[in-house]
Amino acid sequence: MPFPYSSRRSFLKQVSAASALALAAPAVSAPAMAEDNYVANSPIQKKMDATRAQRMAWWHKAKFGMFIHWGLYSIIGHAEWAKEQEGIPLLQYELLAKHFHPKPNAARDWARLAKRAGQKYMVMTTKHHEGFCNWDTKLTDYNAMAQGPGRDLVREYVEAAREEGLRVGFYYSLMDWHHPDGARCKTDEAARKRFVAYTHGLIRELMTNYGKIDVLWYDVDWPLTPEQWESDKMNQMVMDLQPEIIINNRNGLPGDFSTPEQHIQASEVGRAWESCMTLNDSWGFNRYDDAWKTPKTIVNNLATCARGGGNYLLNIGPEPDGSIPPETLTILDKVGEWLDTNAAAIYETDRGNLSPTNNINLTRRGNTLYILQQFWPGHTPAAEWLDFFKPESAVTLAGLKPKALSARLLKTNQKVNFTQDEFSLRLTGLPIQAPDDPATVIVVECDGEPVVDQWSLVPLWPRYKVGISV
Ligand code: GLC
């Protein structure tokens, strides 16, 4: 028997396989059409369209957020799908709730780290797939107040984020492995009604009891359709209670923004998007996962998101007591240190028509181009006899359209000399050692919006035996 649901990643794979098949299939099935109609005709979605730009203004400027996965699964330390992936019986799993003993105010350390790292908002798991509620809900006693912690962990988190001046987001998994109706709601209408009432009730509490909430981040909508979840009513309730909030697209309605997961993919122009990614390979604490990304990778990912006009939601998986894994601290502190001097190259940049290279990422604002040199060239001994590589250290970018007017290092403000022809911009006389780490930013003022397109040069190149004397 096939596993009834799967991770988001394989779920998405199935969806794209299904849509590939759909190309060959002549007709769209009736339930799919009903679902499409429901989504297309959602009244709240239309209302949200009207206020989106204003509601999302802060978020577009924020660029960088902290995702936090923390729950009973953190105690096991095998990441957040352990219950399903290791087949842990529910009654065994429930016992974890009695053994969840976070240290006081763990969230303060997360919020302080987020602030140092240059992250402007946080999104914490209020309830993950396991069904345990990290807040003092009145709808189940499978919650942090009634169980081991004896405290409202969501409240502590909200207060900690606000204390650091950060915006507050709630992650909420619709899928629930604990609630008795969480699976049978698919085939039993009475169960569906109960489970949808429970779900809407939990969301209502979250939207009512914690003051102004900035982001609602739904996850996995298995096993119901948007219509069965009553997603339109759900979002209407959320907007009534929190008129300024922004909502993601994972309850089956488009909401305000798209959520590419573990990859970076810009949406079509005009549609907001946010890539969520892990810092190692796990969302929830995984004591064996040592696949940490480097600060260089994080800075590069952040720039890639900014270049496409999107946000980067980077995850941490705190330990069971809420402590931050030491590697997480080291990496995020390094990123924050870099952002202290390079903020201009990330925040408030606009989506650009800029093609990066192996060594260079690019962002822009107005007529200003930011060249983020990931791998510093130093000098080029293998070809130092070519005139092209003669200067001691040069950064070269092909395919820049407008004319460069001036250039400087962002970190030191030091002026940079350059030449430009129809092929490339060459920034010369640079230090042999990289002036900054993990990326050096060179600011180039241009006489128009910077567009970088190396492919546009192809017809310009002379070809075959050019200049070779035979
Ligand atoms: C997936 C996973 C989940 C994780 C989420 C983050 O949906 O199932 O564990 O919370 O991605 O985007």
For residue 69, is it within any domain?
Answer: yes
- Between the two ends of the chain, the Cα-to-Cα distance in Å is 70
pLDDT of residue 320: 98
Looking at the fold, whether 323 and 417 belong to one and the same domain comes out as no
Domain boundary pick from 291, 312, 345: 345
Domain boundary pick from 291, 311, 345: 345
How far does residue 271's CA lie from ligand 1's centre (Å)?
22
Residue nearest to atom 4 of ligand 1 (CA): 283
Looking at the fold, whether 257 and 286 belong to one and the same domain comes out as yes
Which domain range does residue 439 map to?
360-457
Looking at the fold, whether 105 and 203 belong to one and the same domain comes out as yes
Q: pLDDT 10s digit of each residue in the chain, 470 long?
A: 334 454 444 444 443 434 443 344 445 567 678 888 999 999 999 999 999 999 999 999 999 999 999 999 999 999 999 999 999 999 999 999 999 999 998 999 999 999 999 999 999 999 999 999 999 999 999 999 999 999 999 999 999 999 999 999 999 999 999 999 999 999 999 999 999 999 999 999 999 999 999 999 999 999 999 999 999 999 999 999 999 999 999 999 999 999 999 999 999 999 999 999 999 999 999 999 999 999 999 999 999 999 999 999 999 999 999 999 999 999 999 999 999 999 999 998 999 999 999 999 999 999 999 999 999 998 888 888 888 887 778 999 999 999 999 999 999 999 999 999 999 999 999 998 999 999 999 999 999 999 999 999 999 888 877 877 75
For residue 468, is it within any domain?
Answer: no
Looking at the fold, whether 102 and 251 belong to one and the same domain comes out as yes
Beta-carbon contacts of residue 231 (< 8 Å; ≥ 6 apart): 42, 221, 251, 252, 253
pTM of the full structure: 0.93
Looking at the fold, whether 330 and 221 belong to one and the same domain comes out as yes
Ligand 1 binding pocket mutation candidate from 177, 219, 222, 314 (most atoms within 8 A of CB): 219
pLDDT of residue 29: 67
219 Cβ closer than 6 Å to some ligand 1 atom: yes
Looking at the fold, whether 196 and 329 belong to one and the same domain comes out as yes
Looking at the fold, whether 334 and 376 belong to one and the same domain comes out as no
Residue nearest to atom 10 of ligand 1 (CA): 283
Whichever domain contains 407, its CATH number is 2.60.40
368 Cβ closer than 6 Å to some ligand 1 atom: no
How far does residue 445's CA lie from ligand 1's centre (Å)?
41
| Pairwise CA distance, residues 268 & 187, whole Å | 36
Q: How many domains does the chain have?
A: 2
Looking at the fold, whether 287 and 161 belong to one and the same domain comes out as yes
Question: Strand, helix or coil at 322?
Answer: coil
Ligand 1 atom, smallest distance to 80 CA: 9
CB burial class (10 A; 0-12, 13-18, 19+) of residue 448?
A: exposed
For residue 28, is it within any domain?
Answer: no
pLDDT of residue 470: 54
Looking at the fold, whether 307 and 396 belong to one and the same domain comes out as no
221 Cβ closer than 6 Å to some ligand 1 atom: no
For residue 37, is it within any domain?
Answer: no
Looking at the fold, whether 198 and 241 belong to one and the same domain comes out as yes
Looking at the fold, whether 85 and 231 belong to one and the same domain comes out as yes
Domain boundary pick from 345, 373, 398: 345
Beta bridge partners of 300: none
For residue 16, is it within any domain?
Answer: no
Looking at the fold, whether 376 and 292 belong to one and the same domain comes out as no
